[in-house]
């Protein structure tokens, strides 16, 4: 499957919360995911900037997608730890751009780093998360 089709598959079959937020995956490979999120008033805190929880949810979704791409068949993933550094606000009306890459891909744990930037290219947040890989339950 081509990278364009893989991104489209994530957009079509992504987690309901990510779809509700408006996460749009633009690139999806085993070693890099890219996505964007248009900041609407519903995503904001006061004053009209992207809420920290929305930033964390954006990154968490992408780390989970990366883990999914790198785990064996019959397994599932869950976030067991996440840390966020908030560096700059992203105003309503702008897009947030995320780049997610693996730090470590192990059999039972994966660590992913997501950098979220504003439209002006300045880094707004860095999220590092740990995904546990485990047997899927029926």
Please tell me the pTM assigned to this model: 0.94
pLDDT classification of 1: cutoffs 50, 70, 90 = low
Domains delineated in the chain = 3-135 (3.10.129.10)
What pLDDT, on a 0 to 100 scale, did the predictor assign at position 137? 81
In this predicted structure, the answer to whether residue 5 has a pLDDT above a threshold of 90 is no
Average pLDDT of the residues in 125-136:
97
**Gap between the Cα atoms of 25 and 10, Å rounded:** 7
What pLDDT, on a 0 to 100 scale, did the predictor assign at position 47? 93
Task: Report pLDDT digits (tens) over 72-94.
Answer: 999 999 999 999 999 999 999 99
Task: Report pLDDT digits (tens) over 13-44.
Answer: 999 999 999 999 999 999 999 999 999 999 99
């Amino acid at each position: 499957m081509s990278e364009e089709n893989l991104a489209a598959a994530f957009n079509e079959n992504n987690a309901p919360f990510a779809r509700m937020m408006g996460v749009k995956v633009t690139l999806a490979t085993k070693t890099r995911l890219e996505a964007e999120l248009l900041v609407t008033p519903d995503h904001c805190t006061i004053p009209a900037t992207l809420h920290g929880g929305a930033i964390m949810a954006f990154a968490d979704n992408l780390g989970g997608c990366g883990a999914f791409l790198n785990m064996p068949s019959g397994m599932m993933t869950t976030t067991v730890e996440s840390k966020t550094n908030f560096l700059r606000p992203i105003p309503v009306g702008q897009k947030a751009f995320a780049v997610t890459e693996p730090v470590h891909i192990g059999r039972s744990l994966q660590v992913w780093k997501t950098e979220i930037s504003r439209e002006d290219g300045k880094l707004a947040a860095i999220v590092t998360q740990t995904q546990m890989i485990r047997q899927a339950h029926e």
